[in-house]
Amino acid sequence: MTDKQPQLNGAYYGPAIPPVEAPRPRRQRNCCCCLFGFCWKLLLAVIILLVLGFLVFWAVLQPRAFRFQVTDATLTQFNYTSNDHTLRYNLVLNFTARNPNKKIDFYYESVESHVSYGGVRFASAEVLTLHDSFRQRTKSTDRMSGVFTGHYKTVLDHDQVKKRLEEDERKRVFPFDVKLQFKIKFMIGDFNSSSTKAKANCYLEIPLSSDGKTPMATEFASTNCHVHF
Ligand SMILES: *[C@@H]1O[C@H](CO)[C@@H](O)[C@H](O)[C@H]1NC(C)=O
Ligand SMILES: *[C@@H]1O[C@H](CO)[C@@H](O)[C@H](O)[C@H]1NC(C)=O
Ligand SMILES: *[C@@H]1O[C@H](CO)[C@@H](O)[C@H](O)[C@H]1NC(C)=O
Q: Residues 70-100: pLDDT tens digits?
A: 999 999 999 988 888 889 999 999 999 999 9
pLDDT of residue 206: 94
Residue whose CA is at the smallest distance from ligand 2 atom 4: 145
pLDDT of residue 29: 59
Q: Residues 21-51: pLDDT tens digits?
A: 655 555 555 777 788 888 899 999 999 999 9
Q: Residues 181-209: pLDDT tens digits?
A: 999 999 998 898 999 999 999 999 999 98
Asked if residue 105 has its Cβ within 6 Å of ligand 3, the reply is no
pLDDT of residue 200: 96
Q: Residues 139-160: pLDDT tens digits?
A: 999 999 999 999 998 877 677 7
Cα(73) to centroid(ligand 1), Å: 21
pLDDT of residue 81: 87
Distance in angstroms (rounded) separating the CA atoms of residues 177 and 118: 8
pLDDT of residue 61: 84
Give, in degrees to the nearest 5, the angle at Cα 77 between 71 and 80. Answer: 125
Reply yes or no on whether the pLDDT at 14 is more than 60: no
Residue whose CA is at the smallest distance from ligand 2 atom 12: 94
Instruction: Check: CB of residue 62 under 8 Å from CB of residue 100.
Output: no
Quote the pTM value.
Answer: 0.75
Instruction: Check: CB of residue 112 under 8 Å from CB of residue 180.
Output: yes
Q: How confident is the model at residue 1 (pLDDT cuts 50, 70, 90)?
A: very low
Percent of the chain with pLDDT over 90: 59
Asked if residue 124 has its Cβ within 6 Å of ligand 1, the reply is no
pLDDT of residue 84: 85
Nearest listed ligand to the Cα of residue 92:
2
Asked if residue 90 has its Cβ within 6 Å of ligand 2, the reply is no
Reply yes or no on whether the pLDDT at 112 is more than 70: yes
Taking the CA of residue 26 as centre, how many other CA atoms within 13 Å lie in the half-sphere pointing to its CB?
7
The sign of the torsion formed by the CA atoms of 151, 155, 157, 158 equals negative
Cα(125) to centroid(ligand 2), Å: 15
pLDDT of residue 180: 97
Asked if residue 192 has its Cβ within 6 Å of ligand 3, the reply is yes
